[in-house]
Amino acid sequence: MIQHSQIYRGQVVHQRLTPCAHSFSYPTTFFGFDLNELESLTAQSSLFGHNQTRPLSLRDQDYLYGHKTPIGDQLDQLLSPEQPGERTLLITSPRYFGYAFNPVNFHLRMAGEALVSVLAEVNNTFGDRHIYPLTELQAIGPRRWTARCKKDFHVSPFNDLAGEYHFNFHIEQTSIFLGVDLHREDRCVLKTWIQGTAKPITNAVIWKHALLKPWDTALNSMPRILYQAAQLYYRKKLSVHTRPIPQSRHTLIDRDQTARHPIV
C-alpha cells in the first residue's frame, strides 16, 4: 500500500519587495500527513503519535476550531461538499516535545493526483486563527495550480489588510512547493514560499531530519519571526500597523473570544 504521508526537508523563503527590500531563507523540516494514515503512523513509529504524548505529536485541537473533533470532520464543515476529494494532505509541523507554532498550515484535498480544494489556515503571533478556503483552483500545468483571494486577516504588523493573495501549488510525489504572494494594485509586494524534498516517515528519518536538527523545525518558528520583526522595525524603520479586531467570518479563533464559530 502506498503511504502518502511524508517528511519534507527544504527551505522557507520570504522576499519583501516594498517599501524596502528585505529577504531571508531558512532550512526547514516539515510534514505532509494524510489524515487517513494518522493511526497507522502512530502504530508504526515510536517517535510520532496522533493525539498522544510522544516526541512528535499531532493533536486535533491544534487546528481549525481548536477542538478535539477530528481534523477531517472539521474540514467537512468548512469546505464545499461538492468538492469532497478522496483524501486530505495536511502540510504542517507537529508538536516537538509538546510545542509548535505554525504560521500557516495547508489542508490539501486531493482526488487521485489532482488538487481539488485547499484550506489555508493562518496563525498570527497575537493568538488569532483565520482560514482561506480556496475552491476555485486553476490548473496551470502538470501538478501545478493557482488560486487568489482577498486578504482580510492581520498577520504582520508591517502590512495592513490591503491586497490580494496569489497562491501557487506544485505537488509532486517526491517534492512540494507552496507559494503565497501578496499583491497590491497589480504589483507584488511580498513573496513567500516553502519547498521540500519528500522522505518517508520512519524513526530513522525523524531522528535525522527532525530531532537532531530542532533549530530547523517548528520549535524555532517564533524566534525566527521575532528576529526578523526586529530587523524590520529597528534597522529598516518600517511603520507598524496595530492589530484590528477580527471581523471576518473566516476568523475561527481570536484571542479575545477563543472559538468564534464552535462546532456543535
Residue 198 within any structural domain of the chain? yes
E strands present in 45-94: 48-50, 56-58, 87-92
Residue 249 within any structural domain of the chain? yes
Percent of the chain at pLDDT > 70 equals 95
Residue 1 within any structural domain of the chain? no
What is the pLDDT averaged over residues 146-173?
95
CA distances in angstroms from 230 to 103, 162, 207, 221, 235, listed in the order given: 17, 23, 32, 14, 8
Count how many domains the chain has. Answer: 1
Residue 137 within any structural domain of the chain? yes
pLDDT band at 263 (very low <50, low <70, confident <90, very high): very low
pLDDT for residue 259 is more than 70 = no
Residue 264 within any structural domain of the chain? no
Backbone angles phi, psi at 20, to 5 degrees: -145, 155
3-class DSSP assignment, residue 68: coil
pLDDT in tens, 72-131: 999 998 987 776 788 999 999 999 999 999 999 999 999 999 999 999 999 999 999 999
Q: Model-level pTM?
A: 0.94
Residue type, 259: A
By the 8 A CB rule, do 52 and 63 touch?
no
Backbone angles phi, psi at 197, to 5 degrees: -100, 135
What is the domain range of residue 189?
Answer: 6-259
Residue 34 within any structural domain of the chain? yes
pLDDT in tens, 176-214: 999 999 999 989 999 999 999 999 999 999 999 999 998
